[in-house]
Amino acid sequence: MSAITRDEVAHLARLSRLALSDEELDHFAAQLDVIIGAVARVAEVAADDIPPSSHALPLTNVYRPDEVRPGLTPEAALSGAPAVEENRFRVPRILGEEA
């Protein structure tokens, strides 16, 4: 039995906003099946009573003082933008025609 199907990979690609070609889907599905089969080995570790670690350092809620500091100027922030209009990022439409 395969660990992951082509349809599942296609679904994950849609969730990840990756417009993959049919060839890419075929290729990745086969490779991911091997990779997932290998990483599934973590399930063999007896760890029911082990707490998970998301991080190596025991740090939580690191804040700086709440004071105003200079940030990027609008020009600097927009300097790498693919499209700019009226000192803002110009983006393709985000709502449907009828909205």
Q: By CB under 8 A, name the binding residues for other proteins.
A: 4, 8-9, 12-21, 24, 27-28, 31-32, 34-36, 38-45, 47, 50-57, 59, 62, 64, 72, 76-77, 79-83, 89, 91-94, 96
The residue type found at 68 is: V
Q: Which residues contact 10 (CB under 8 A, 6 or more apart)?
A: 20, 25
Q: Which residues contact 32 (CB under 8 A, 6 or more apart)?
A: 3, 4, 9
> Is the CB of 53 or the CB of 87 nearer to other proteins?
53
Q: In angstroms, what is the minimal distance from the CB of 66 to other proteins? A: 13
